[in-house]
Amino acid sequence: MFKWLIVGIAALIGAAIVFAAAPAPDDTGVLTITARYVKTPPAGIDDPAWQRVAPVQVPVAGRLEMADVKGTVSTKALFTDDELYFLLSWEDPTCSTVKESWQFDGTQWVHLKGDEDRIALLFEIARINQFSSKSCSVVCHSPADLPRSQWHLATKSPVEKGDLWHWKAARSAPYRHADDGWLTVAGNPTGSYRETGRRADAGDGGDIKNETPDGSRPLYMQDPARRPSVPGFLLLEEAVPITDYSIFRAGDVIPYRLPVKPSASRFDVKAESRHADGRWTVMLHRKFNTGQEDDVAFDVRRRFSFAMAAFDDSGADHSKATRSLVLDFKR
Amino acid sequence: MTEVETSTTEERSTVAASRASIAQLLQVEVPADAICWHRFFGALQLALIGLLFLSGALMALAYTPVPGMAYDSVDYFQFSLPLGNVVRGVHHYAWNLLLVVMGLHLLRALILGAYKAPRQIVWISGVAFFLLMPLFIITGDLLPWDQKGYWSTQVRFSIIASIPLAGDFLVQLFRGGPLTGIVALTRLYVLHILVLPCALVLLIGLHLYFLGTRGLSEPLTAGAAPRPKVPFLPTIVNRWLAVFIVSAVGLGLVAWQWPAALGDPADPTDSAFIPRPEWWVLFLNQLVAIFKGPFMVIGSAIIPGGLVFLLGALPYLDRSPERHPSKRMGVMVATAVVLAALTALSVIGYVEHFVRPEH
């Protein structure tokens, strides 16, 4: 009798600890993406480790020109002892990497219609007020007199800081990374948000516009002495100034935006990407702690609120996650 | 007499008094049956309360009771300071365990009839702990200023406000204004770390004092022979220390492995957030859900308050000297019914909130 009583009491105490250990998921708009531990880093998009993780479908909805766009981004996350991996996959029938490339029509150079596909993640480096409950809408500001199309991304105060991972099909994918930037208060001293609060991390990267000072034609072409390391793209390090425009024939295309070789903190977020079967699949990964002030430092004991936006052949127009997202780590 | 001589004489008398106290303590003896497994809960409660005080005091060193900074100070303590995670975890788990152990301690006394004369006052002082516990919950949950704590507090304030006559006044007393902001946080913080712990220490002192004067209840099987005794110091004190060390190490390991959760920062504009109740208030939540609108007070105050009152009055309702449970079937059946009702309400609440939430 006493033996069973002791067993019962021990079970009750054990149950109390278990209940206390399991944080109750609250009824809220927050969607949790749980990163699972793997000992060996996934080698790429097709690594079997990804098959063992259930995807979370992050709902996204468009704004402005993309107001009727609705979809989901299948999101998976893994982590090793020192690195975080995301696998993002979303439907996009067209692979857009044109980004207003130049085309010679036989008499003059014109910009092709078309932008690029992108996906962006935003984390908190330092607490952004209401970010965890209202997501990126709290950093999308504008003075009342500006139309929504001119809204910019910025935090409300200098103490709030975001970490922006921006994968761009035409401008960062060739170097297999996501442009690593950070978000702060708008640059305008009046604080009117007429300027963006986006800043690039330390180091080289990004892209330059390939155009002559008068903007009438491209300035650079592929170095004929070098084989393009990424076919279809013109990297700045492989470009040479055009000295003779007569070599071009009607229909020739030269990229308008030339990726600059990334380095230092701007090159922290590595990426693998593929467009196949009407879908983009992008793997992003970064060290937990880069030691840089312009990067969020991940800690597997904590939750990290984040936001997501997908861009379909567009510049500013995008579909953003309709729910606040949180990243959780589970061993 | 010179000043130096006076001072030396005072020092000598103080030392003599201390020695006398220690000698007196060394002479204190308690029945040997105090060291049995089912009397273990009292010692464990003391250990857990000690751990709660210690971990709470450490957390207070880094805590900032200001809405815009409270969350970050907790976050900093837990994730940036060495062992912060363990200390906050110990506070969290010790609290959860304390509620279970207090329940078991009370149940043991109830089943074994330990509330009977001459120990009525021991029992009443024990039941009084259950009046303090909800106050610790109300005041402590808001402190991390996270979504769950903030919105749970809002729900609790609305429940308290439903108490006739005193409800609005009590809410005003806690909140200090129309909104839950810096005044509320400061008040609840002071209550949580100063007023309530002092009240708890006082209550523990009274409980132990009454226990000392009225004595431990005899074992049910005790015969006419005198009970064997053991010295309070060192036997009982050592036992308490052992329980404290084992609890600290055990809970520290649990906290290390499964850290206490820290939710998202509170957003007072996010009224869509619906906090789910902790396991210990599931039954109360269901009671409040059953009695809606103007009848809410039945679930929120009358039934729980009535139960605590009946519990406190038990020594005067069951006056027979008989202590064996089989000869107190009325009390046993009533206890079983209440326990079954609380369990059923908790299970229903768990299913509603966790298994198939409607919202």
Note down pLDDT in tens along chain B; length 359 residues: 566 666 677 777 888 888 888 888 778 888 887 777 778 899 999 999 999 999 999 999 999 999 989 999 999 999 999 999 999 999 999 999 999 999 999 999 999 999 998 999 999 999 999 999 999 999 999 999 999 999 999 999 998 888 888 889 999 999 998 999 999 999 999 999 999 999 999 999 999 999 989 988 888 776 667 778 888 888 888 989 999 999 999 999 999 999 999 999 999 998 888 888 888 889 988 888 888 888 888 888 889 999 999 999 999 999 988 889 999 999 999 999 999 999 999 999 888 888 766 54
pLDDT tens-digit map of A219-231: 999 999 999 999 9
Residue B11 is assigned to a structural domain of this protein:
no
Runs of H (alpha helix) within chain A: 2-21, 48-51, 131-134
Interface-testing mutation among B279, B354, B359, with chain A (most A C-beta atoms within 10 A):
B279
Query: Residues 6 or more apart from B335 whose CB is under 8 A from it?
Result: B107, B110, B111
Task: Indicate which of B51, B100, B254, B353 best probes the interface with A, i.e. most A CBs within 10 Å of its own CB.
Answer: B100
CA dihedral B239, B245, B248, B252 (to 10 degrees): -140
- Pairs of residues, one from chain A and one from chain B, whose beta carbons lie less than 8 Å apart: 89
Flag whether pLDDT at A193 surpasses 70: no
Contact across the interface for A133 and B147, Cβ inside 8 Å: yes
Write the ipTM: 0.77
Cα distance between residue A50 and residue A86, in whole Å: 10
Alpha-carbon span A158 to A156, nearest angstrom: 7
Q: Does a structural domain hold residue B292?
A: no
User: Selecting from 3.40.50.720, 2.60.40.10, 3.10.129.10, 2.60.40.1190, what CATH number does the domain A28-330 have?
Assistant: 2.60.40.1190
Q: CATH number for the domain including B239?
A: 1.20.810.10
Q: Give a yes or no: residue B126 inside a domain.
A: yes
DSSP state of A40: S
Judging contacts by C-beta atoms under 8 Å, the chain A residues touching residue B264 are 30, 132-133, 303, 305, 326
pLDDT over 70 (residue A188):
no
Domain that holds residue B95: 33-219+227-268
**Mean pLDDT rounded to a whole number for chain A:** 88
Q: Which of residues 88-127 of A touch B (CB under 8 A)?
A: 127
**Nearest-CA distance from A133 to chain B in Å?**
7
Among candidates B97, B275, B357 on the partner chain, residue whose Cβ is nearest the Cβ of A16: B97
- Where do the domains of chain A lie? 28-330
Nearest of B185, B192, B191 to residue B150 by alpha carbon: B185
Indicate the residue type of A314.
S
SS3 category, B283: helix
In a domain, B190, yes or no: yes
The verdict on a CB contact (< 8 Å) between A26 and B148 is yes
B114 lies in some domain: yes
Mutate one of A4, A17, A161 to test the B interface: name it (highest B CB count within 10 A).
A17
**Residue B182 domain flag:** yes
Dihedral sign for Cα atoms in the order B210, B212, B213, B217? positive
Q: Which helix (H) or strand (E) holds B307?
A: helix B303-317
Which run of H or of E encompasses B338? helix B329-350
Question: Residue A326 is encoded by which pair of tokens?
Answer: 């949180």
- The pLDDT value recorded for residue A140 is 78
